[in-house]
Structure 1
């Protein structure tokens, strides 16, 4: 399998991986919100097939989270923040939901997936800009309720290429889990979401014979390798910086960037409808 990978694309992917890794460490935001739109843009400029671009971007974003989430989980675990009892209860549903989400993404037209992602980024940006947190009003469900919640988290995360924090943190906070424990537990949930979503996207794209060179299913391997290597390197730098500065104002600035990215994905989706 030959890779058509020039130095310009390598540099672009290095910058993207470094940027998203630093932001993840600095602001605690997952890479999916920024990775998917930028990978979509890069693949569009490289002339990749329109029908596959957004799906490849989502799949590649999920695959990178497999690597970047490990260091985050380790840091939270060392501080005793992860509620592993919650992880165990949500994990079965997350596994099922992540696998199902990849198959739904395969069946969806590319423009509808782009519109769904625009909605996701717009929602995330609004939550970040307003710094809204749900009020604790109930307890965690048991048994089938947790499997159902995990399935919803897994499906939505697989559809948008994110680690699930945009759903799991509000859900746990709503269920009276302290915010720091919710964030730490969400980081631990990010790995099974990303892993099973990645497996799902590999399977979903495996039988397609017109995929571009350098792909494994829907995953674009050159982007995965370069972005993962860069983001793992810069994430700790972002985390250290976060302890030295007030990130509240930065989150609002980043929210404006997210609105811009949402607009681009909205344009991609509407253009596909024409």
Structure 2
């Protein structure tokens, strides 16, 4: 029995290390946030390891949010030093995003794993379509809307992102660019938004999963500590490899491939729940 437990832990560690490597390479290739990769990879890794279906999506989301605490801090700092974080916008917007995060985390902590999977699946499908057709979508306005629409947008970005286990880039960048925001400032500001999402999101993931049965070994609430400590260094080490490959291959084709992968993954997750 002990040998089986050690084997299980070894397989879990290998799967989580592979998750970090895949996330880092794709992030380096396409410049996308790791969460949009980490969550679905963890989801299928946990299925293969026969983690309790009722908690596997919650653990995938919680673990992803925890990794953003480290990777997001580094990214936000780098963008801030380059002057690409709009601090004025963050000062006016952070509280609406934070309220959305708390509301989304509370909802995520009280719904089934299947419902949480559907949220990820549908939004991943929308992100996939955005990536494929984004160049053909013009800005809808010259600037962000005023109160209360701006706050509603922040609330939705925070709420949906925390339920998906992603940072600010996946939803924040396309939202800001729709309102004629310069892409570099949109990326930098979204990196900072990722921290606003990750800090309360991680704490609430720990709280809501504290006494839940069926979680993988070494989990603090819905945050798997093995995943946290393996995914971060693996993704940091593999991201430069992804960036190197990106210089040798047409990035537009890579983006299309990733969009198709994300769309297929979203559809597969939706089908898996509804079938």
Residue 114 (1) aligns with residue 117 (2): yes
Q: Does the CA contact (< 8 Å) of 2:62 and 2:205 recur in 1?
A: yes
Listed as ranges, the matches of 1:260-271 within 5 Å are: 260-271=264-275
Q: Distance in 1 between matches of 2:141 and 2:130?
A: 19
Q: Distance in 1 between matches of 2:196 and 2:212?
A: 25
Aligned residue number for residue 52 of structure 1: 55
Alpha-carbon deviation of 1:163?
0.8
Query: In 2 relative to 1, CA 82–161 (structure 1 residues): closer, same or farther, beyond 3 Å?
Result: same
Partner deviation per Cα, 1:104-157 (whole Å, 9 max, x = no partner):
012222212111211111111111122344414142245654443322111000
**TM-score between the two structures when normalised by the length of structure 2:** 0.88
SS of the residue aligned with 1:6? helix
Q: Distance in 1 between matches of 2:152 and 2:93?
A: 8
Q: Distance in 2 between matches of 1:26 and 1:188?
A: 21
Q: Does the CA contact (< 8 Å) of 2:56 and 2:215 recur in 1?
A: no
Aligned residue number for residue 18 of structure 2: 15
Query: In 2 relative to 1, CA 71–235 (structure 1 residues): closer, same or farther, beyond 3 Å?
Result: farther
Q: Does the CA contact (< 8 Å) of 1:60 and 1:224 recur in 2?
A: yes
Give the alignment partner of residue 167 of structure 1, picking from 171, 183, 194: 171
Q: Does the CA contact (< 8 Å) of 2:59 and 2:215 recur in 1?
A: no
**TM-score between the two structures when normalised by the length of structure 1:** 0.88
Residue 213 (1) aligns with residue 204 (2): no
Aligned residue number for residue 198 of structure 1: 202
Q: Does the CA contact (< 8 Å) of 2:144 and 2:179 recur in 1?
A: yes
Alpha-carbon deviation of 1:252?
0.4
Unaligned runs of 5+ in 2: none
Q: Distance in 1 between matches of 2:15 and 2:231?
A: 10
Q: Does the CA contact (< 8 Å) of 1:134 and 1:170 recur in 2?
A: no
Q: Distance in 2 between matches of 1:99 and 1:174?
A: 25
Count residues in correspondence. 270
Aligned residue number for residue 139 of structure 1: 143
Q: Does the CA contact (< 8 Å) of 1:89 and 1:146 recur in 2?
A: no
Query: In 2 relative to 1, CA 232–167 (structure 1 residues): closer, same or farther, beyond 3 Å?
Result: same
Aligned residue number for residue 180 of structure 2: 176
Query: In 2 relative to 1, CA 71–233 (structure 1 residues): closer, same or farther, beyond 3 Å?
Result: farther
Task: Give the RMSD, CA atoms, in angstroms.
Answer: 2.3
SS of the residue aligned with 1:171? helix
Give the alignment partner of residue 82 of structure 1, picking from 82, 85, 95: 85
Alpha-carbon deviation of 1:182?
0.8
Q: Distance in 2 between matches of 1:89 and 1:230?
A: 35
Partner deviation per Cα, 1:200-238 (whole Å, 9 max, x = no partner):
211211243564431111111111211112112222443
SS of the residue aligned with 1:81? coil
Listed as ranges, the matches of 1:145-160 within 5 Å are: 145-160=149-164
Q: Does the CA contact (< 8 Å) of 1:90 and 1:149 recur in 2?
A: no
